[in-house]
Amino acid sequence: MPDQTTIDELLSIMARLRDPAGGCPWDLAQTFRTILPYTLEEAYEVAEAIESGSLEDLRDELGDLLLQVVFHARMAEEQGSFAFPDVVRAICDKLVRRHPHVFGEADLPDAAAVRVHWEREKAAERARAPGGAGAATLDGVAAALPALVRAQKLQRRAAAVGFDWDAIAGVFDKVREELDECRETLAAPVDLHARVHEIGDLLFSCVNLARHLGVDAEAALRTANHRFEHRFAYVEAGLDRAGLQPGPAVREEMELLWEAAKSKP
């Protein structure tokens, strides 16, 4: 269990930083909107720490992310809206409500059943929310999410009400169809917006394929980015050893080094 004194100490430090009498001018100047970019940044740095495999980095980044929660809660408390204990109470209630197989008598025998229940409970919560009785299936999927993450959530919501492919073969066919339509935009002059539209459809269908394969599309692309960085660094190091600089004139050498990089672990 967390050390309550440690949590209290963090809350006390945040209150001191936001104290108009002797607090920090920078912290006092912040609002929910100005802090938002830092909150998003810290969440991504948690992801980076996890992917690096460094638990020490993860510990530090989780602390930075916790600070963001405390910061937002403090500003809300100053406005008389809610405080940190209300945040904790809300998530505790939600976890108990969404796990009736642990805290109640429901029978959810495997992870798939738990996922189905989780999505149904979230839908019920949305319906119970003010103005939610007539809410559409896709309402409430945050527009600020990274596009790949948002695509996955939209697709899961639609799938939960039966709008999904019956078999993965159809998803592969859809990816091929969208790729062909992208290729067609090269065959004749088209408006740039048309290409944007077709590329968007292709990416959306690739996210759908990832979902059907049980792969997180955002994590997969981050992994591909890291792999590309590692391999391209190998290419540049090889060129440097040969006294060369990256550029079109050494394209053949770059390709050879790239193939060599792909064989490395």
Q: Are 135 and 127 in contact (CB under 8 A)?
A: yes
Q: Which of 79, 98, 117 is the last residue of a domain?
A: 98
Question: What is the distance of C-alpha 96 from the center of its chain?
Answer: 24
The crossing angle, in degrees rounded to 10, of helices 192-212 and 217-241 is 110
CA pair distance 141, 151, nearest whole angstrom: 9
Mean confidence (pLDDT) of the chain? 91
DSSP string computed for the chain? ---HHHHHHHHHHHHHHT-TTT--HHHHH--HHHHHHHHHHHHHHHHHHHHHT-HHHHHHHHHHHHHHHHHHHHHHHHTTS--HHHHHHHHHHHHHHH-HHHHSS----SHHHHHHHHHHHHHHHHHHSTT-TT--TTTT--TTS-HHHHHHHHHHHHHHTT-S-SSHHHHHHHHHHHHHHHHHTTTS---HHHHHHHHHHHHHHHHHHHHHTT--HHHHHHHHHHHHHHHHHHHHHHHHHTT--SSGGGHHHHHHHHHHHHT--
Domain span including residue 32: 4-98
45 belongs to a structural domain: yes
Residue 97 has pLDDT above 70, yes or no: yes
Q: Which of 98, 128, 155 is the last residue of a domain?
A: 98
Cβ neighbours of residue 141 under 8 Å, at least 6 residues apart?
150, 153, 154, 157
The crossing angle, in degrees rounded to 10, of helices 84-98 and 55-78 is 120
- Highest mean pLDDT (candidates 16-30, 156-170, 176-190): 16-30
213 belongs to a structural domain: no
- The residue type at 35: I
72 belongs to a structural domain: yes
Residue 201 has pLDDT above 90, yes or no: yes
173 belongs to a structural domain: no
214 belongs to a structural domain: no
29 belongs to a structural domain: yes
Q: List, for residues 126-159, the tens digit of each pLDDT value.
A: 777 766 555 688 887 888 888 999 999 999 989 9
Tell me, what's the pLDDT at 128? 73
Q: Which of 65, 98, 131 is the last residue of a domain?
A: 98
* Tally of structural domains, the chain: 2
Q: List, for residues 105-119, the tens digit of each pLDDT value.
A: 888 888 888 888 887
Report the pLDDT averaged over residues 187-198.
85
Residue 238 has pLDDT above 90, yes or no: yes
Which domain CATH number covers 81? 1.10.287.1080
144 belongs to a structural domain: no
CA pair distance 88, 229, nearest whole angstrom: 40
Which residue, chain included where needed, has tokens 């960085």?
A: 229
Report the pLDDT averaged over residues 168-189.
92
Question: What is the value of pTM for the model shown?
Answer: 0.68
19 belongs to a structural domain: yes
